[in-house]
Structure 1
Amino acid sequence: MGAAYPKRSTTMDQSAIIAFIEEQDLQKIRYAFADIDGVLRGKIIHRNKFLDGLTDGYGFCDVVFGWDCTDTPYDNGVVTGWHSGYPDAPVRIDVSTFRQLPWEDQMPFFLADFSRPDGNDLVACPRSLLKRIARQSEEMGYRAEFAQEFEWFNFRETPHTLQQKGFRQLEPLTPGMFGYSILRPSLESDFNHDLFDLLAQFDIPLEGLHTETGPGVYEAAIMHDEVVRAADKAILFKTAVKEIAYRHGLVATFMAKWNADLPGCSGHIHQSLWTPDGSKNLFFDPAKPDRMSDLMRQFMAGQLHCLPHILPMFAPTINSYKRLVEGAWAPTTVTWSVDNRTTALRVLNHKEAYARVEHRVAGADSNPYLAIAASLASGLYGIRHGLELDIPATVGNGYQNKEYGTLPANLWEATQAMKTSSIATELFGEGFVDHFTRTREWEWRQYARQVSDWELKRYFEII
């Protein structure tokens, strides 16, 4: 994270955007929003429809919050469902998110959400939730600066070959374990340059891009920004990487753990609070132990206190918990440290410009809006309640430090903890917690009814 927060690459307001579209005679506009799983859903619309809906929004079937990531309708939904007839809900474009798609002939692109001018937002909308929590931060006098980094695997496959192979015997982009390699990026130079350059053109500038340990696995750190824009960049990063990969005959996956024998994929969240004008990092105090300000310690205390109550916000899938196991570079305990990669929170603060806390629980499969909302909301909880960071810093192996608690072991346990938590309700509201935990219970039930390859191999003949 740099010394000063980044400026927008464009300062065009709504009138300037309209004039630009008309002057360039652009006929097509793409917009998208994130569903509860962090999947971008959207449309390409005609210029006239775009202009007509800027004030009142565009009708969009609310089934997008009534089905799972495979488009299977929930049987336990309340927000929408067969009982409501899946009506349209007004989705509104946020003109401040204006970009152009460099791999789609510079087509205009916008992010949208289901926020409403009267504040009566759709409770299922992840971006609306984050915007509400970001306003809380501003009202408390803080500018929240965040960034998410991702690890992901790349394969020489297509959506068709994945299906034909049954997701087995996949060919990775490159062979072997070669983290921080200089050779591997050179071997795939066109892909690497396109990732770095096209993402920058799409207003997702990267601080760094490198190989991780594993066949065909990369890691990218996105430059930090104001918290909502940081989440916008993170959600767009995942889809943009997939689209760029397609153009190179590749498929990218952000599964938390695609292979039991290989490391998982993280989505670490870097976070700090600044003065409203961005001139001072409020997490840094050279007069305090480890240069951690009292505010930073309260923020971290809130995160550790809330973490077992809101884990599905960071680990939302069945697969998430295959990554959260001991010795797999992902935390399993309620711990913090100064520059130690075995704990849930990792402090990095050798100088004010870079002082921050890294939340290491979130996987690459997390919905950035929800994971970042959970990070910020739980940190603000600690400040509002004046919590003391009474958990000592871990020195050594964080997996062995179980004195202050361990994380739920699977999605069902984590969801039940969140469902009954008054802390989760305080952070996110009863409506959101009810909807979200219902979707996670649905996810668990879809998993529980399946017969896995492991079961067949273990029991078919012997039992």
Structure 2
Amino acid sequence: MDKVQIIKYLDDNKIERIKFAFADIDGVLRGKVIHRKKFLEGLESGYGFCDVVFGWDSADVLYDNSKITGWHSGYPDQLCSIDLSTFRTIPWQDGLPFFLADFSNSVSAHAACPRTLLKRMAADCNALGFHPEFAQEFEWFNFKETPQSLEEKEYVRIQPISPGMHGYSIIRPSLYNDYNDDLFTLLRKFDVPIEALHTETGPGVYEAAIQHDDVLQSADQAVLLKTSVKEISYKHGMMASFMAKWNGSLPGCSGHIHQSLWDKKEGKNQFFNPADPDKMSDIMKQYLAGQLHCLPHILPMYAPTVNSYKRLVEGAWAPTTVTWGIENRTTAIRVINTSDKYTRIETRVPGSDTNPYLAMAAALASGLYGIKNKLSLDSPGTVGNAYANKEHKNLPSNLFEATTAMKDSDIATNLFGDDFVQHFCNTRLWEWRQFSKHVSDWELKRYFEII
């Protein structure tokens, strides 16, 4: 809908409330419900929003190393802009109108806004004559818990909705048929089109694949899926968690990103070449080489939390090395080359804890870096178990190591600009410091008596 159609929709349905939200640096949606009058007035001038949303972490604790905002700036309002093309209604909230917003028109908050960064990468791609087609899939665990019960239990003995390892189970979803129906149906009504929904291996773990779309729309849908699943699970007396690794003895949760580039004029998949032995075009090889080359320099954009790196371990269906392979799920990047329509790459590094805007921006920018610099693949695709080949370059093993590499990287600055890199890396270093001060139950059990 355009502006005129949206206003008519509000008038015809006598709607007085509108909800809008934007993603912060962690991918957490922050927003408000505003009156119709305020909504209409802000369509031209924007909406003032306290820029503390880019000055605190996911627990609302203020950063002490943010240059973009802080006590030194007084935490002023910045203007966010609603994107009218994101209009949808929330089916589990009586059809409340909803929009996504960003800070693309705010000079001060511009560098910290994830959606604004992805818009810039998408524009760069379009300028090269490519249409970026993306899709993200998510795994998450479901629990018989509420925020109150977890608080009372101090996050100990958390109970999944069902026991045992039941990947691709046909019978397990029937235990919560109403929940499954709501996920599939309500998400599609909310314009988050689910391509497939199934159980993964693990107690109470699900996986959903979103249909592919233009990269910005795909990121919008991915961000909304995570929040929507949490809200829908609340309706059923459950909690959904998108932590990368909530339990050390269970599989982690992935957030793989599928991607391809298409010719804007002819609408052809630029990754497919039927004459190549692997059906990979030169553009695809350059794009793939760019992602591999940049991966160690921008890893925190794929693995943004301390917990992310608990998933990136050998034998856990997650990569540990800078590798690629054809239909190989032990590598960082999996090439899928079945046909012209479906040839694509799957970046397997991201977990479900990613901020989709930043993860997709990282994937697209690094792929385009390979095309612009005509990079070639340094090594053939890995055949067999990538974990067993010790010659491959290892990924950084923790958030501090990965963030330090990114903060000092000219490649990261070249891709995203110094303002974003410094702000984002400072937030990740803050995250590491918060973790480093914490005394874990592992330390208590190991050292309390015996040392």
TM-score (norm 1): 0.96
Distance in 2 of aligned mates of 1:402 and 1:33: 42
What SS class does the counterpart of residue 59 from structure 2 fall into? coil
Shift of 1:400: 2.4
Counterpart Cα distance in 2 of 1:238 and 1:33:
13
Report the equivalent of 2:49: 60
Post-superposition offset of 1:193: 0.5
Match for residue 413 of structure 2 among 404, 414, 425: 425
Aligned to 1:256: 244
Shift of 1:402: 3.9
SS in 1 for 2:328: coil
Match of 1:390 in 2: 378
Aligned-pair identity (%): 66
Quote the residue 1:42 is aligned against.
Answer: 31
- 1:19 Cα deviation after fit: 1.1
Does structure 1 residue 439 correspond to structure 2 residue 433? Answer: no
Distance in 2 of aligned mates of 1:73 and 1:163? 22
Within 2, Cα distance between the matches of 1:62 and 1:302? 34
Q: In the alignment, is the contact (CA less than 8 A) between 1:334 and 1:402 conserved in 2? A: no
- Give me the whole-angstrom Cα distance separating, in 2, the residues matched to 1:167 and 1:277: 53
Alignment correspondent of 1:81: 70
In structure 1, what is the Cα distance between the partners aligned to 2:141 and 2:27?
18
Q: Which runs of 4+ in 1 moved over 6 A?
A: none
Q: Secondary structure at the match of 1:32?
A: strand
State the match for 1:144 in structure 2: 132
Residue 22 of structure 1, CA deviation = 1.3
The whole-number CA distance in structure 2 between the counterparts of 1:378 and 1:338 is 20
Q: Name the SS for the 2:365 alignment partner.
A: helix
- 5+ long unaligned stretches in structure 2: none
Measured in 2, the distance between the counterparts of 1:370 and 1:261 equals 29
Whether 1:325 and 2:313 are equivalent positions in the alignment is yes
Query: Which residue in 1 is equivalent to 2:111?
Result: 123
SS at match of 2:368: helix
The CA deviation at 1:403 is 2.6
Note if 1:289 corresponds to 2:306: no
Shift of 1:276: 1.2
Q: How far did 1:120 drift?
A: 7.8
1:413 aligned onto 2:407? no
Instruction: Kindly state the Cα deviation for residue 277 of structure 1 after the two structures are TM-superposed.
Output: 4.8
1:368 is aligned to 2:356? yes
Contact persistence 1:335–1:401 (CA under 8 A)? no
User: Which aligned pairs between 1:193-208 and structure 2 lie closer than 5 A?
Assistant: 193-208=181-196
* Contact 1:145–1:225 (CA under 8 A) maintained in structure 2: yes
The DSSP-based 3-state class of the residue aligned with 1:54 is helix
What is the CA deviation profile of residues 349-379 of structure 1, one whole-angstrom value per residue up to 9, with x for unaligned ones?
1101111000000000000000000000000
Task: Give the drift of 1:289.
Answer: 2.0
| Counterpart residue identity of residue 11, structure 2 | E
Take 1:216 and 1:462, find their aligned partners in 2: how far apart are those partners?
37
Answering whether residue 95 of structure 2 is matched by residue 106 of structure 1, we say yes
For residue 243 of structure 1, give the secondary structure of its aligned residue in structure 2.
Answer: helix
- Deviations for 1:205-237, whole angstroms, at most 9, x for unmatched residues? 111000000000000000000000000000000
How big is the shift at 1:399? 1.3
What residue identity is the alignment partner of 1:22?
D
SS at match of 1:310: helix
Q: Which residue of 2 aligns with 1:458?
A: 446
User: Residues of 1 paired with 2:182 and 2:348: CA distance?
Assistant: 28
What is aligned with 2:342? Answer: 354
Shift of 1:392: 1.1
> What SS class does the counterpart of residue 134 from structure 2 fall into?
strand
Q: CA RMSD in A?
A: 1.0
Give the AA of the match of 1:184.
Answer: R
For this pair of structures, how many residues does the alignment match?
451
Q: Deviations over 1:325-362 (max 9, x none)?
A: 01111000000000010000001111011110000000
Aligned partner of 2:366 among 350, 362, 378: 378
Q: Which amino acid aligns with 1:43?
A: K
Q: Among residues 63, 81, 84, which one is paired with 1:95 in the alignment? A: 84
**Given the two structures, how large is their TM-score scaled by the length of structure 2?**
0.99
Does the 8 Å contact 2:51/2:109 carry over to 1?
Answer: no
Corresponding residue SS for 1:181: coil
Query: How many Å separate the matches in 2 of 1:391 and 1:269?
Result: 22
Q: Output aligned runs, 1:125-274, within 5 Å.
A: 125-274=113-262
2: CA distance, partners of 1:93 / 1:224: 23
Aligned residue type for 2:201? T
1:404: Cα distance to partner?
3.8
Report the Cα distance in structure 1 between the residues aligned to 2:301 and 2:390, rounded to whole angstroms.
22
| CA–CA separation in structure 1 for the residues paired with 2:158 and 2:410 | 44
Report if aligned partners of 2:322, 2:394 keep a CA contact under 8 Å in 1. yes
Which SS does the other structure have where 1:55 is aligned? helix
